[in-house]
Chain A
């Protein structure tokens, strides 16, 4: 990271830019972005918190059982698109319970590494620039997440013995 900053600064000096003024001007932009972001994010966090806090997901985890997926992975898969902090907590539990190098631990880590909090990303990005109609964005993102989970399951089955 430091390396990247040095390159950018050196390149700016080389182009004879008044880099300090340019830096301040750029940083100023964060105010307007944060101002539009806060209310939209608040709405998103409110409705997601209510859904997660209702216990609906705990109920879902108990009824969903898929033979080739370890039971402890299911909550991770369901919450991943919605909440980054809950899924990191689930990942910690899995890594403590099974060990970081266990099959379940590696599968959970791979799933986390190949996906992102889709709903949160959508809220932040589209909220910050004021997009009201997201069209097929959510469906596209969630489908991609499901595919990434399936890919992770097959890949870890295939490669676990090669790397661990």
Chain B
């Protein structure tokens, strides 16, 4: 499926650029992708190392287990297939908590560890399990209590009260997450009937 998206995006992009007259620029775009990716990776790498280090202390000391207890009712509801004492749930809950407080840099490495554990629980299959998709939707709908990026942009562009957006953002992202999870529950059922 990813191969299909990859191929389609490239072919549609190049064909459309002929019609729009952007074709001359396309070689530039291709080469720039390499440096763009490198910039993303170099931005991500050191922060990932840092947070994986700190969170390893949190994990080994049992701190993450405490966090998991806080979110237990929610986790049982969202991840019925995951064993209650598994490491995966520890990483999932720390990812959720980091995201809530707008600590995206710390949330990403935790998310990757969560998916690694979920993959192991799924016999290391390269097909995504229902729990993995639920987790991904939790992340992309991003429930946030403090929308840090948005507040800093509003500050930069001269808002009289940058954090006034917070209540609306909390309600919107909470409702968005709930709807995202409901869609997930429905799609999970539909895909089970199919297979």
| Interface status of B58 (Cβ within 8 A of chain A) | yes
Bound complex: CA A155 to CA B22 (Å): 39
**In the complex the two chains form, is B179's CB within 8 Å of A137's CB?**
no
Residues of A within 8 A of B169 (CB): 109-110, 113-114
Residues of A within 8 A of B34 (CB): 42, 46
Residues of A within 8 A of B172 (CB): 110, 113-114, 148, 151-152, 155
Q: Which 3 A-B pairs have the closest CB atoms?
A: A26-B56, A144-B180, A50-B13
Bound complex: CA A138 to CA B138 (Å): 13
Q: Which one of B48, B162, B176 has the highest number of Cβ atoms from chain A below 10 Å of its Cβ?
A: B176
Interface residues of B in 145-185 (CB under 8 A from A): 147, 149-150, 153-154, 156-162, 164-165, 167-169, 171-173, 175-176, 179-180, 183-184
**In the complex the two chains form, is B20's CB within 8 Å of A45's CB?**
no
**In the complex the two chains form, is A8's CB within 8 Å of B58's CB?**
yes
**In the complex the two chains form, is B157's CB within 8 Å of A100's CB?**
yes
**In the complex the two chains form, is A43's CB within 8 Å of B6's CB?**
yes
Residues of A within 8 A of B162 (CB): 100
| Interface status of A91 (Cβ within 8 A of chain B) | yes
Residues of B within 8 A of A (CB): 1-2, 5-6, 9-10, 12-17, 20-22, 25-26, 29-30, 32-34, 36-37, 40-41, 44-45, 48-50, 52-63, 103, 106, 108-109, 111-112, 115-116, 119, 126-128, 132-133, 136-137, 139-142, 144, 147, 149-150, 153-154, 156-162, 164-165, 167-169, 171-173, 175-176, 179-180, 183-184, 187, 191
Residues of A within 8 A of B (CB): 1, 4-5, 7-9, 11-12, 14-15, 17, 19, 22-31, 33-34, 37-38, 41-56, 58-59, 88, 91-92, 95-96, 99-101, 105-106, 109-110, 112-118, 121-122, 124-126, 128-141, 143-145, 147-148, 151-152, 155-156, 159, 163-164
With A49-B32, A109-B165: A56-B160 Cβ-Cβ less than 8 Å? no
With A46-B30, A113-B150, A125-B112: A135-B128 Cβ-Cβ less than 8 Å? yes
Bound complex: CA A131 to CA B26 (Å): 29
**In the complex the two chains form, is B140's CB within 8 Å of A118's CB?**
yes
Bound complex: CA A34 to CA B191 (Å): 32
Residues of B within 8 A of A92 (CB): 153, 157
**In the complex the two chains form, is B176's CB within 8 Å of A148's CB?**
yes
Chain B interface SS verdict (over half): helix
Bound complex: CA A48 to CA B119 (Å): 27
Bound complex: CA A92 to CA B153 (Å): 7
**In the complex the two chains form, is B20's CB within 8 Å of A56's CB?**
yes
- A23 CB to closest chain B CB (Å) equals 4
**In the complex the two chains form, is A121's CB within 8 Å of B139's CB?**
yes
Residues of B within 8 A of A126 (CB): 115, 128, 132, 136
Bound complex: CA A128 to CA B115 (Å): 9
Bound complex: CA A155 to CA B126 (Å): 39
Q: Which one of B6, B21, B60 has the highest number of Cβ atoms from chain A below 10 Å of its Cβ?
A: B60
- From the candidates A11, A33, A49, A155, name the one contacting B63 in the complex (CB within 8 A): A11
- A147 CB to closest chain B CB (Å) equals 4
